[in-house]
């Protein structure tokens, strides 16, 4: 399994545009084969920070995601609200399970 965790910096004045684009992106991405989770959320301490969390079955599924038409559509819209370069980390997970049993 692959986990992606990261963040983007947006213009807080464009928050509604960011939410609309992220909502479309999430809906389309969650339908992709191999996508187990895909979430955008806003940091509670910084109105310009959007956090992203993703879980993918494998690298092939992630590669298909990067080539998906909705990824390109999101990128085209993102210029209106993203103000800086994103920061993302990729984790390759051998096993996972509940934190509390």
Q: Report the C-alpha gap between 7 and 83 in whole angstroms.
A: 12
Q: Report the C-alpha gap between 86 and 89 in whole angstroms.
A: 10
pLDDT of residue 100: 95
pLDDT of residue 85: 86
pLDDT of residue 84: 86
pLDDT of residue 28: 98
The DSSP annotation for the chain comes to: -EEEEEEEEB-GGGHHHHHHHHHHHHHHHTTSTTEEEEEEEE-TT-TTEEEEEEEES-HHHHHHHHHSHHHHHHHHHHTTTB-S--EEEEEE-S----S--
Tokens of 63: 């590669």
Could you tell me the mean pLDDT of each successive run of 10 residues in the chain, 101 residues long?
A: 97 95 97 98 94 98 97 94 94 94 81
Residue where the block lists tokens 């995601």: 65
CATH architecture of the domain with residue range 2-89: 2-Layer Sandwich (3.30)
pLDDT of residue 101: 81
| CB neighbour class for 38 (10 Å; exposed up to 12, middle 13-18, buried from 19) | buried
pLDDT of residue 42: 92
Tokens of 95: 């096993």
Q: Where are the domains of the chain?
A: 2-89
């Amino acid at each position: 399994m692959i986990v992606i965790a990261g963040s983007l910096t947006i213009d807080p004045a464009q928050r509604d545009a960011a939410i609309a684009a992220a909502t479309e992106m999430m809906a389309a991405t969650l339908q992709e084969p191999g996508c187990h989770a895909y979430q955008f959320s806003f940091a509670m301490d910084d109105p310009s920070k959007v956090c992203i969390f993703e879980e993918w079955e494998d690298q092939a599924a992630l590669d298909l995601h990067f080539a998906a038409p909705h990824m390109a559509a999101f990128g085209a819209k993102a210029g209106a609200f993203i103000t800086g370069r994103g920061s993302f980390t990729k984790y390759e997970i051998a096993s996972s399970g509940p934190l509390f049993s």
